[in-house]
Every structure is written in C-alpha cells, then in structure tokens.
C-alpha cells in the first residue's frame, strides 16, 4: 500500500526531523514495539531549523497500513518547541517523561501516551509515519479525549511547518 496520510494535507514549510533510534524508511527499534504486556518506548526524536515563530510541536505516530479503516494513531502530544526533541521513552501514559507544558491526547487505543508498533500477524510490513508539526501556539487547549481528526482540524490555522520520517515494522507471518 502506498497511502501517505500527509499527501493531501495543507501545504506548509518543512524543517529537519531525525531519530537516533532508526533511519527514515528503516525498521523501528524493538524497544518501540508494543506487546500484550508493554506499550513499548517512544523513539527519541530531534528537530532542527524550526520556523522562527514556533512555540509548540505536535508529535504524532500513525500506522497508515493498519488493517482498519483510517489507519491507527499510536501517539499524539504537543510539546514546547524550544526543547529540540524528545528523549526515548518520553511517551509514557502518565506523561512523567515529557517536558513541562506538554499535553498528550488520546491515541487510537484511548491512551494519552505512546503505544508501540503491534502489526497483526499476516498483515505485512507497516509504515509508521512519525510527524512533527511546528505550531505558532504552545498549547491547543483541547480536552484529552479530542479525536485525532479534530486535533488535525484544530492545528490548521496554527501550522508553521511539518517534518515526517517513517519507521517500519514487519508483522509475523
């Protein structure tokens, strides 16, 4: 499948997004996988060359190849723009490893934290779109139960730039 969830997004500027844990287009590290007993650890992320007026960064992780309509959101969090990135494991459900002033929103599991890759057996290789969207606001003042569709509608007037890297995870056969 070649679906790119950002191909129809409103055009915006770009900046640099990297991870020391995986190369874009490469496999997610095993620590970023979830299981029946653990959520897994969110990968470390680093951003640079943010737009000048950026005050917040929305970080999302989306499985475009999930075998459900509309894909599957694994993480959504707004963090202060001045931190330069997030450490590995920052996406804990209690938010204790996020920078002060961060706001986590519920993902497709209904958890306000990162839930790692868990591609169902027989569904092939999944692409996990890790996006960082620079915002002109530090927070969005949205309730934690806000849908991810509403979140993305709410950021339209605040978006200054976006960077995307893709990690992969192959399902067991």
We report the CATH number of the domain holding residue 147 as 3.90.280.10
Q: What is the mean pLDDT of residues 127-149?
A: 91
The pLDDT assigned to 156 comes to 95
The answer to whether residue 27 sits within a structural domain is yes
pLDDT on residue 63: 97
Q: What is the 8-class DSSP label of residue 27?
A: B
Residue 95: band (very low, low, confident or very high) from pLDDT cuts 50, 70, 90: very high
β 125-135/56-63 pair status: antiparallel
Q: Is residue 160 part of a domain?
A: yes
Whole-prediction pTM value? 0.95
| 151: helix, strand or coil | helix
Q: Residues near 8 by Cβ (< 8 Å), separated by ≥ 6?
A: none
In the chain, % of residues over pLDDT 70: 99
**Residue 63, domain member (yes or no):** yes
Q: What are phi and psi of 73, to 5 degrees?
A: -90, 125
pLDDT of residue 36: 85
Cα dihedral sign for 90, 92, 95, 96?
negative
Q: Is residue 77 part of a domain?
A: yes
Q: Does 79 map to a domain?
A: yes
Is residue 118 one of the residues assigned to a domain?
yes
Q: In this structure, is residue 36 part of a structural domain?
A: yes
**Structure-token pair, residue 111:** 């958890």
Neighbour-count burial of 21, counting CB atoms closer than 10 A to its CB (0-12 exposed, 13-18 middle, 19+ buried): middle
Q: With respect to residue 8, please indicate whether it lies within any of the assigned structural domains.
A: no
Q: How many whole angstroms separate alpha carbon 110 and alpha carbon 61?
A: 14
Question: Is it the case that residue 1 has pLDDT exceeding 70?
Answer: no
Q: List the domain range (segments joined by +) for residue 62.
A: 16-170
In the chain, the number of structural domains is: 1
């Amino acid at each position: 499948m070649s679906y790119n969830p950002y191909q129809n997004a409103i055009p915006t500027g770009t900046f640099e997004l990297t991870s020391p844990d995986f190369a874009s287009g490469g496999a997610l590290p095993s620590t970023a996988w979830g299981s029946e007993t653990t959520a897994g650890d969110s990968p470390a992320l680093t951003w640079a060359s943010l737009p000048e007026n950026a005050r917040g960064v929305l970080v999302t992780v989306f499985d475009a190849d999930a075998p459900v309509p509309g894909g599957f959101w694994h993480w959504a969090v707004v963090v202060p723009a001045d931190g330069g990135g997030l450490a590995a494991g920052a996406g804990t459900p209690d938010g204790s490893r996020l920078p002060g002033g961060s706001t986590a929103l519920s993902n497709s599991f209904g958890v306000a934290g990162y839930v790692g890759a868990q591609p169902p057996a027989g569904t092939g290789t999944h692409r996990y779109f890790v996006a960082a969207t620079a915002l002109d606001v530090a927070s969005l003042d949205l309730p934690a139960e806000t849908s991810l569709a509403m979140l993305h509608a709410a950021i339209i007037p605040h978006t200054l730039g976006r960077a995307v890297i893709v990690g992969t995870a192959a399902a067991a056969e």
